[in-house]
Amino acid sequence: MEGSSAHRYRDGARAVAPLAVAVLGFGISFGLLARSAGMGWLAPIVMSATTFAGSAQFAAVSILGAGGTVAAAVAAAVLLNLRYGPIGVSVAPWLDGPAWWRFLRAQLVVDESWALAAEGEGRFDPRILVGAGLLLYVSWVAGTAIGTLGGQALGDPKTLGLDAAFPALFLALLLLQLRNRRTIVAAILGGATALALTPVAPAGVPIIAASAACLIGLARK
């Protein structure tokens, strides 16, 4: 399976291609939402290009649009993105080269590119990560630009069922991860924690708490 380097980048882009359509759709709806929240056209595009994390951006812009404070908007977005701390540690051994090159590739880490690059047992393919991440990045920023510059054509991406594309991808990738009893226990604990905390904790906290389920790895085998 170890194709040439260029092939693995392309494999990453190809694997994420169907999702890129959904990301483009949500990028457009993010652009529309941000525009209607009074952010103008440039700020949403800059946000997508620098933050590149959908759920956090939707949260921050919704809070601003509803008349919330700057502090509340920033806090919600940062909380939602805290999961990228442990996610970054998990891919760190596989990102080599100079610091600036590791820094740049780290920006392409989003849930989808990270999950596609996961090969199980803590191994990651950095080329899949970069190939998938780049295509998603372009889709997200382009979608945002179309949305803020007035693209109403697509309508609500939910009408096309695009919101179901993400959990379906994550389910497919989760099944590949379930190799032994420990991974199954971690998945059940993580899923149950997120479900239990969603109604009571601020957005972002259930996912962070769920990722703590991996601490069972400290127990002796």
- Interface stretch with another protein, choices 3-11, 89-97, 136-144, 145-153 (CB under 8 A): 89-97
Distance of closest approach, residue 36 Cβ to another protein, in angstroms = 12
Q: Closest CB to another protein among 7 and 50?
A: 50
Piece of the chain touching another protein by CB under 8 A; list 4-12, 109-117, 137-145, 147-155: 109-117
Do 108 and 134 touch, CB atoms closer than 8 A?
Answer: yes
CA–centroid distance for 130 within its chain: 13
Distance CA(127)–CA(130), nearest Å, equals 5
How many CB atoms sit inside 10 A of residue 6's CB? Answer: 10
Q: Contact between 10 and another protein (CB under 8 A)?
A: no
Tell me how far the alpha carbon of residue 111 is from its chain's centroid: 3
Q: How many chain residues touch another protein (CB under 8 A)? A: 101
Binding residue (CB under 8 A) for another protein from 6, 66, 149, 215:
215
Nearer CB in complex with another protein: 108/142: 108
Which one of residues 10, 134, 151, 187 is an interface residue with another protein (CB under 8 A)? Answer: 187
* Residue 216 DSSP symbol: G
**Looking only at residues 20 through 79 of this chain, which bind another protein when binding is defined by CB under 8 A?**
22, 37-40, 43-44, 46-47, 50-53, 56-57, 60, 64, 70, 73-74, 77-78
Residue in 91, 136, 141, 142 binding another protein, rule: CB under 8 A:
91
Torsion sign over Cα 68, 142, 172, 166: positive
Q: How far is the CB of 151 from another protein (least distance, A)?
A: 20
Query: Does 121 interact with another protein (rule: CB under 8 A)?
Result: yes
DSSP code string of 15-71: HHHHHHHHHHHHHHHHHHHHHHTT-TTHHHHHHHHHT--HHHHHHHHHHHHTT--HH
Residues of this chain, 139-178, that bind another protein according to CB under 8 A: 158-175, 177-178
- Of residues 84 and 134, the one with the C-beta less far from another protein: 84
Sequence-ordered strand ranges (E) for the chain: 118-120, 123-124
